[in-house]
Amino acid sequence: MKIAAAIIAFALVFTGATAQWAPMANDPAAAQRIAWWRDAKFGMFIHWSLASVTEKGDWAQWSEQIPVRDYAKLADKFTGSNFDADAWAATATSAGMKYTVMVSRHHDGFALFDDPGNTFTSVATSAHRDFVGAYVKAARKAGLRVGLYYSPLDWRFPGYFFPDLYRASAEEMRAQYHRQLHDLASNYGPLDILWFDGGANEWLGFGGVRFTNGQWSARPKNEPYKGAFSWNDDQAVADLKRLQPSIIINDRTDAPADFRDREGDAALGGFENRYPWELCTMLAPPWMYVKGAKPKTPDEVIHLLVSVVGRDGNLLLNVGPKPDGEIPGDQVATLKAVGRWLKQYGQSIYATRGGPYLPGEYGVSTYRGNTVYLHILDRVHSSWTLPLLPAKLKRCSAIVGTARCRQAADGLHVSLPGPSRSVDRVVMLLVDGPAADIQPIAVNDE
């Protein structure tokens, strides 16, 4: 009883965990491997699996403490009767997204692909379908880059919670991880992203349960598991990259990562151009479907996307299809509206980098070539004074409407006459050299 209570207490804290800080990849091909992703900027996360049937989110099994045997019976209801991978892909492209990442297996252990060594899959249960295969085919046909989310952990294995006490169970779970990852890398053609979750030493022992000196206690925050068991991530990822040489991975294993991830709106953080990073967050919380959950408005998504890209990151925005596989109509409507905005303003988002002006009350900036894009998110004022650009300003214009700019001794003066009707007004500054040569410029807002 005490052990169970301790685990539940730690779980409440652990569900808010963010990315693991694995080392960054520094091999000769790293920059080339990630280049397309840095240009893409905007992707769709898709959380849909057995937990969707509960309509209580992706952690329903844990939060509701549903016994493993009872939870497995939900597979009888998980048929994907309205699953349409082409519709998913069409929604992503209409939103202006360039890549997608679908959950192939979440922490509950239910796989949306075939696994001859495991019957807890969508192929071996009532759906009798390989949803991963259909998704990959549809995304490729639509011209999207293809990613898969995969969680090595599995709540069905006691060895996950107590890897030292139940070593055989932990090793069986690890064998499943290596086998399934190998199959995913072997059976679906080229994959662009493997988005890990739930692995690495930080997660072992459920991110905080340890037994020392005869007492159960919380492992200190950010202290990794130090027991004898290992996921052997280096072996699993080496096999993955042998089969998929161009694939990129995030930082939630102990293997070198191609990009870091920040999780949730509150993790937006500051400007960072030393390494590739991504904000993953929800269009409508939580990650998996909950009936009646309200999505962000188009303006909220645009503001978030611009804020991320101006900080030199990517946005991976999640949708949670209903238990039958259909993406809720209000989520689709929001995404289509964002796509219409991107058709007009996409030049200031795609294939840009964040800066040179750092984020401030005015908004953020991006650049490409000799053009700096000021994203004016301030809807109160009509004029702003920014620090001087260390370059000659050749032209100033707005993507929509009129902009006026003037370089003076006290800074760059920018004005946008007329009322603010857009969540983001974009001013284009053409300078006399590559904007990439301009070092980040701090903006000291009054």
pLDDT at 1 over 80: no
User: What is the second-level CATH architecture of the domain 354-437?
Assistant: Sandwich (2.60)
Q: What is the pLDDT of residue 204?
A: 76
Share of the chain above pLDDT 70, in %: 94
30-48: pLDDT as tens digits = 999 999 999 999 999 999 9
Q: Domain coordinates of the chain in residue numbers?
A: 2-348, 354-437
Q: What is the pLDDT of residue 27?
A: 95
Q: What is the pLDDT of residue 42?
A: 99
The residues facing 442 across adjacent strands are none
281-309: pLDDT as tens digits = 999 999 999 999 999 999 999 999 999 99
Q: How many other CB atoms are found less than 10 A from the CB of residue 34?
A: 16
Cα 229 from Cα 146, distance rounded (Å) = 32
Could you please state the CATH topology (level 3) that the domain comprising 2-348 is classified under: TIM Barrel (3.20.20)
Q: How many other CB atoms are found less than 10 A from the CB of residue 423?
A: 18
305-342: pLDDT as tens digits = 999 999 999 999 999 999 999 999 999 999 999 999 99
330-381: pLDDT as tens digits = 999 999 999 999 999 999 999 999 999 999 999 999 999 999 999 999 999 9
The Cα-based distances of 339 to 143, 223, 314 in angstroms read 16, 42, 16
Rounded to two decimals, the pTM is 0.94
